[in-house]
Amino acid sequence: MSLRIALLGMLAAGGPTSGYDLAKKFDGSLSHVWPARHSQIYPELAKLAADGHATVRDEGSRGRKLYELTPAGRDFLDEWLRSADPAPKVRSESSLRLFLLPLLPPEVAVPLLRAEASRYAEQARVLAAERDARQPPDTPGRNGWYAADLGVRNFTAIRDWATATADHIEALPRSGMDGKV
């Protein structure tokens, strides 16, 4: 379901869009939330059209197809957004790694945590620049300012955790057990 929602959302936010351009969004801002490849996007767009949630508005050059959201698609999207799933699923390989890094011996874990901290700081910096390039929206939902702001806050929180955790491990008295077990 989520891929469908993400596609409808992009069509709602950006107007008529081709599969090719949607794929670029899924490789950019959306990649931090719900990544997808063109091989998945094209078939899903076809299903969207079959279900009446989108229509092909134009066929441009090179076989380019512009998909447009239908009222039914918009309703479907709105309904999904209104009804909160109490236990939505998260699957994050990066958090899994952060989760487990403290298992390594301190002299290995600390530098890795510091490296992660600066990677996330950098990602936050880049996203913040993107966010600030767009000015804060005066029509809500337009132009992805809020989405970028969410990303910045997430990256910053992770950077803070990595720094605090590295500091904390570093401050521990050395034991002989090397963090094994």
Residue 86 binding DNA, by CB under 7 A? no
In the block, residue with structure tokens 């709602």: 12
Give, as one character, the DSSP assignment of residue 32: G
Cβ proximity to its own copies: between 49 and 68 the closer is: 68
Of 109, 117, 120, 131, which lies in the binding site for its own copies, with binding defined by CB under 8 A? Answer: 109
Subset of residues 162 to 181 that bind its own copies, contact rule: CB under 8 A: 164-165, 168-169, 172-173, 175, 177, 179-181
Q: Which of 15, 27, 28, 43 binds DNA (CB under 7 A)?
A: 43
Binding residue (CB under 8 A) for its own copies from 16, 24, 56, 161: 161
Among 39, 61, 84, 135, binds its own copies (CB under 8 A): 84
Q: For residues 117 and 34, give the distance between their C-alpha atoms in angstroms, rounded to a whole number.
A: 23
37 binds, among its own copies, DNA, none (CB under 5 to 8 A by kind): DNA
Closer to its own copies by CB, 63 or 79: give it. Answer: 79
List Cα–Cα distances, 134 to 14, 141, 154, 159, in angstroms: 15, 12, 19, 24
Out of 95, 129, 132, 167, the only residue in the binding site for its own copies (CB under 8 A) is 95
Find which of DNA, its own copies, none residue 108 binds, CB within 5 to 8 Å per kind: its own copies
Provide φ and ψ at 84, rounded to 5°: -75, 130
Q: At what angle do helices 2-14 and 71-82 cross, to 10 degrees?
A: 120
Torsion of CA 34, 39, 44, 50, to 10 degrees: 170
Joined together, the tokens standing for residue 127 give 């996203």
Interface size with DNA, residues (CB under 7 A): 26
